[in-house]
A and B are shown apart, each in its own frame.
Chain A
Amino acid sequence: MIEVEHLTKKYGDLVAIKDLSFKVDKGKIWGFLGPNAAGKTTTMRILTGYLPATDGQARVAGFDVFEEPDKVKRLIGYLPEVVPLYPEMTVQGYLKFVAEIKGIPSAEIKKAIDRVIERVGLAPVRSRLIRNISRGYRQRVGLAQALIHDPEVLILDEPTIGLDPAQIIEIRQLIRSFKGERTIILSTHILAEVTQTCDGVVIINEGQLMASGSLDELTASLLDTDGVFLKLRQKSPEVTTLLQNLPHVSGVHEENGGWRVEWPTGYDLRDDITRLVVEKNLGLEEMRPLAMNIEDLYLKVISGGGIRK
């Protein structure tokens, strides 16, 4: 649905993004992850036709962003980082204006407004001035604005920034509810957001692609060790030796009153560990897999040069 190939953008001498390539399939939600000033906003602005690229190609639903910008603009709903609101308009009036400039036929505008107001929960504030509504509602008006022309693609630049935790959860649920019907790219530097809402992730740093792929693929490829966290009633130091002596174990570390047992990916030592625990009567309290989480992934990718897929 969205294909970016060798995209480069320079502001004068400053290189904002460099040779960026990635692909997002139809109906998926992809997270765009990276530290501040990594080039997330620039990439989104290029995709939405706000900025031209210096070099490279970007296609949305098969249309080239630079050659057929009007077609692409009709397909995309965009929520910029700073929500583009006119404070002196009412919520309803604003949505009507957006509907008009997005090219919705006059006869369908009222229906479109009612639909998005219902969808994002703006009914209580629909006739109030945007200036007078809360941050959370403004963000929703931003989403409503992006949804009004029923776009196939949604591009959301930090959709939950500046919201309180309850609002963040609501907005995330809303975004998740679009899964399957729309293709979504959302940028964020909140790592939890990616695991909770996204199917895949593009990680960029200093304008360069560090990694991209579905979450499972990425964790699998980055992870060369697998393991469990083990908690036993028996705390004696011999346990460490016992665990170390198991075949294929690559490392045993004591932490948090338990042990981290690691082995190379491809093996599964959980049965062996359980047998050991039962035979030696060590008293099993807890055993859980050590999945590499998104934070490990992110830090590893950002600091270690990453992988390209």
Chain B
Amino acid sequence: MRNIWAICKKEIQTYFTSPIAYVVITVFLVLVGFFFYSLIWWFNSQSLQMAQNPYYFQQLNINQMVFSPLFHNISIILLLVIPLLSMRLLAEEKKIKTEELLFTSPLSINQIILGKYSAALVVLLTMLVLTWIPVLFTFIYGNPELPPLLNGYLGLFLVGASFMAIGLFFSSVTENQIVAAMLTFGALLLFWVLNWAAYSATGFWRDVLNYLSFFQHFDDMTRGILDTSDLVYYLSVIFLGLFLTHAVIQSRRWR
């Protein structure tokens, strides 16, 4: 545990002593702010129109109309920025040869992987927590429901954590950060749109493709549905990412 914490601390420090984390977080927040603003603006104009009709007015739901699409937008931004946060994790250690220090210290491969992964999750969490600033205003001027909102955030966190695990894996296969980022981005996008292929598939394959798609599982969560199969899906992706990373590191040493 102490070893994991040592690695984690060092990684967090590296994120925040280089400009990467600041730039990524800033761009992320600007984009989230923009999406939030347009959704709220749209919601406002809808409310004004509906104000004439008490029945429709009752139907207006800020969770459905603002937060659900907002979470979708945020997840797309995560798809774009997470490869940039994960590319460094292992590729750089290889490039500047510091992995020789890590692997000749009394650390296990698992400790190194978990240390780095948890640091990346801290950055992800920081990003998500900061998006609460605009969200808090909706509590002042409106009455959104908290549970579906938290559920959506849990979904975002799980999606981001899955992306990060896949990014960590691609960072372990190369010493070039750009290559790692590009491979991660390609893989994430492919997984995201896997359900498109499901439209033309039938029966068993349709279910498989739908199940594998990031989108399908995330959609439930933004709408406030917490299904164990979604949780299992994300946790399996995270586990698979970390497991493959371990396998790559292990095999590279034995070759």
Instruction: For the complex formed, measure the closest distance between the CB of B219 and the CB atoms of chain A, giving whole angstroms.
Output: 40
A101-B3, A102-B106 in contact; A84/B100 too (CB < 8 A)?
A: yes
Inter-chain contacts of B105 with A (CB < 8 A): 73, 98, 101-103
Inter-chain contacts of B9 with A (CB < 8 A): 97
* Cα A97 to Cα B7 with chains together (Å): 8
- Would you call A98 and B104 a contact (CB within 8 A)? no
Chain B, Cβ-Cβ closest to A129: B17
Taken residue by residue from 243 to 255, chain B's Cβ proximity to chain A (1 for < 8 Å, 0 otherwise) reads as 0000000000111
- Would you call B97 and A101 a contact (CB within 8 A)? no
Chain A, Cβ-Cβ closest to B104: A48
Instruction: For the complex formed, measure the closest distance between the CB of B161 and the CB atoms of chain A, giving whole angstroms.
Output: 24
Cβ 8 A contact of A49, one of B3, B14, B96, B103: B103
Inter-chain contacts of B106 with A (CB < 8 A): 70, 73-74, 101-103
Does A88 interact with chain B (Cβ within 8 Å)? yes
Inter-chain contacts of A89 with B (CB < 8 A): 10, 13-14, 17
Does A145 interact with chain B (Cβ within 8 Å)? yes
Inter-chain contacts of A247 with B (CB < 8 A): none
Q: Which of B215-255 contact A (CB under 8 A)?
A: 253-255
A101-B102, A145-B101 in contact; A86/B2 too (CB < 8 A)?
A: no
Q: Which of A75-83, A188-196, A260-268 contacts the other chain?
A: A75-83
- Would you call B103 and A97 a contact (CB within 8 A)? no
Cβ 8 A contact of B98, one of A48, A49, A84, A93: A84
Inter-chain contacts of B18 with A (CB < 8 A): 88
Instruction: For the complex formed, measure the closest distance between the CB of A142 and the CB atoms of chain B, giving whole angstroms.
Output: 10
- Would you call B14 and A101 a contact (CB within 8 A)? no
- Would you call A50 and B100 a contact (CB within 8 A)? yes
Main secondary structure of the interface of A (DSSP, over half): loop
* Cα A86 to Cα B101 with chains together (Å): 11
Interface hub of B98, B253, B255 (most chain A Cβ within 10 A): B98
Does B51 interact with chain A (Cβ within 8 Å)? no
* Cα A131 to Cα B6 with chains together (Å): 21
Does B60 interact with chain A (Cβ within 8 Å)? no
* Cα A102 to Cα B255 with chains together (Å): 26
- Would you call B97 and A84 a contact (CB within 8 A)? yes
* Cα A117 to Cα B101 with chains together (Å): 19
A11-B255, A12-B255, A50-B104 in contact; A88/B10 too (CB < 8 A)?
A: no
- Would you call B2 and A93 a contact (CB within 8 A)? no
Does B107 interact with chain A (Cβ within 8 Å)? yes
Inter-chain contacts of A93 with B (CB < 8 A): 13
Does A118 interact with chain B (Cβ within 8 Å)? no
Chain A, Cβ-Cβ closest to B7: A101
Does A51 interact with chain B (Cβ within 8 Å)? yes
Inter-chain contacts of A51 with B (CB < 8 A): 253
Inter-chain contacts of B10 with A (CB < 8 A): 86, 89, 97
* Cα A39 to Cα B66 with chains together (Å): 64
Inter-chain contacts of B100 with A (CB < 8 A): 45, 50, 78, 80, 82, 84
Instruction: For the complex formed, measure the closest distance between the CB of A81 and the CB atoms of chain B, giving whole angstroms.
Output: 8
* Cα A52 to Cα B13 with chains together (Å): 32
Chain B, Cβ-Cβ closest to A71: B106
Taken residue by residue from 81 to 121, chain B's Cβ proximity to chain A (1 for < 8 Å, 0 otherwise) reads as 00000000000000011111111111100000000000000
Instruction: For the complex formed, measure the closest distance between the CB of B110 and the CB atoms of chain A, giving whole angstroms.
Output: 13
Taken residue by residue from 197 to 232, chain A's Cβ proximity to chain B (1 for < 8 Å, 0 otherwise) reads as 000000000000000000000000000000000000
Inter-chain contacts of B99 with A (CB < 8 A): 84
* Cα A51 to Cα B106 with chains together (Å): 14
Chain A, Cβ-Cβ closest to B115: A101
- Would you call B14 and A86 a contact (CB within 8 A)? yes
* Cα A12 to Cα B252 with chains together (Å): 12
Inter-chain contacts of B107 with A (CB < 8 A): 101
Does A294 interact with chain B (Cβ within 8 Å)? no
- Would you call B97 and A52 a contact (CB within 8 A)? no
Give 28 A-B contacts (CB < 8 Å), ordered by A residue: A12-B255, A48-B104, A49-B103, A49-B104, A50-B100, A50-B103, A50-B104, A50-B253, A51-B253, A73-B104, A73-B106, A78-B100, A80-B104, A82-B100, A84-B100, A84-B101, A85-B96, A86-B14, A86-B96, A86-B98, A87-B96, A88-B14, A89-B10, A97-B10, A100-B3, A101-B102, A102-B105, A103-B3
Known: A50-B103, A80-B97, A103-B3. 17 other contacts (CB 8 A): A50-B100, A50-B104, A50-B253, A51-B253, A52-B253, A78-B101, A80-B100, A82-B97, A84-B99, A85-B98, A86-B96, A86-B98, A88-B17, A100-B3, A100-B6, A101-B6, A102-B106
In order of increasing CB-CB distance, the 5 nearest A-B pairs are: A100-B6, A84-B101, A84-B98, A82-B97, A48-B104
Residues of A within 8 A of B (CB): 11-12, 45, 48-52, 70, 73-74, 76, 78, 80, 82, 84-89, 93, 97-98, 100-103, 145
